Amino acid sequence: MCASLLSDYNRGMCRLFGFRSNVPSRAHGSLVAAENALARQAEAHRDGWGIGYFMGTEAYILKSEEGAAEDDRFARISRRLQSHTFVVHVRRATVGQIDYLNSHPFRHGNWVFAHNGTIFEFDAMRDRVMAEIRDDLKGLIFGNTDSEHLFYYLISALDRAGISDCGRSDVSVELAARTISAALGRLFTWSEELGIPAPLTNFILTNGRQFFAQQG
C-alpha cells in the first residue's frame, strides 16, 4: 500500500509533497520527472528546499536555502534516495528570511514536519504560541519562521496529551488527531480575538509510521 500527497495551493505559498509506502520506494518521478513535478513548481518557489526521509526507523533531513529548480543537488538526491516515507518541501518565503535554518522540513527526534501556509501577523501571535511550547523545546527553535514555531507548538501539545515528543514509538492516531485539532483550534481562536486573518495550516507531520496531513 502506498499513498502520496502533493499540495499545490495557488496562494503564493510553498509547495509540499508527502509519500508513505509499505516498502522503500523512490519519489524521483513526482519530484523531478513528472509533468507537474515539484522541481518544476519550484521555478516560482526559489527560497529553499528540503527532503525528509527515513532509513530504517530513523528520520533524516537534507535541505538548502537554494532554489530546487536551480540546485542540481535536489535532482541528484531525489534520484538516489529510497524510503518508505518522504516529506518534501519547496519554499516561497512569507515569514522569515531566506536561510538554511528557515528551510523545511523541520525535525525533532523522529517527528518530521513541513508547512505550506502562514500564521498571519505572526508577531502578534508569537507570545501566545511561545507560551504553549515546552520550555526546553524553545531553545531548539533556530530559525525565525512561523512554521518552525508551529512545529514545536504541536509537538508540545502532543507531549501534554501523553504522546512522546521523540516520535520513536507508535502513537494513537485518534488521540493525536484530536490533540492536533484542538491545538489548531486555539490558533484560530487567538486570530479571531486579535482581529487578524485566520491562519493557513496546511502541513504534514509524521514519525515515519503515523502520517498526519492537514489542509486548511
Q: What pLDDT score was predicted for residue 46? A: 62
DSSP type of residue 42: G
Q: What pLDDT score was predicted for residue 41? A: 52
Domain boundaries, the chain: 2-214
Q: What pLDDT score was predicted for residue 3? A: 43
How far apart are the C-alpha atoms of 187 and 5, rounded to whole Å? 24
Is the pLDDT reported for residue 2 higher than 50? no
How far apart are the C-alpha atoms of 202 and 209, rounded to whole Å? 20
Using one digit for the tens of pLDDT, what is the confidence trace for 12-51?
455 778 888 887 777 655 555 444 455 455 444 566 788 9
Nearest to 54 by CA among 110, 115, 113: 110
2-214, CATH topology level: Glutamine Phosphoribosylpyrophosphate, subunit 1, domain 1 (3.60.20)
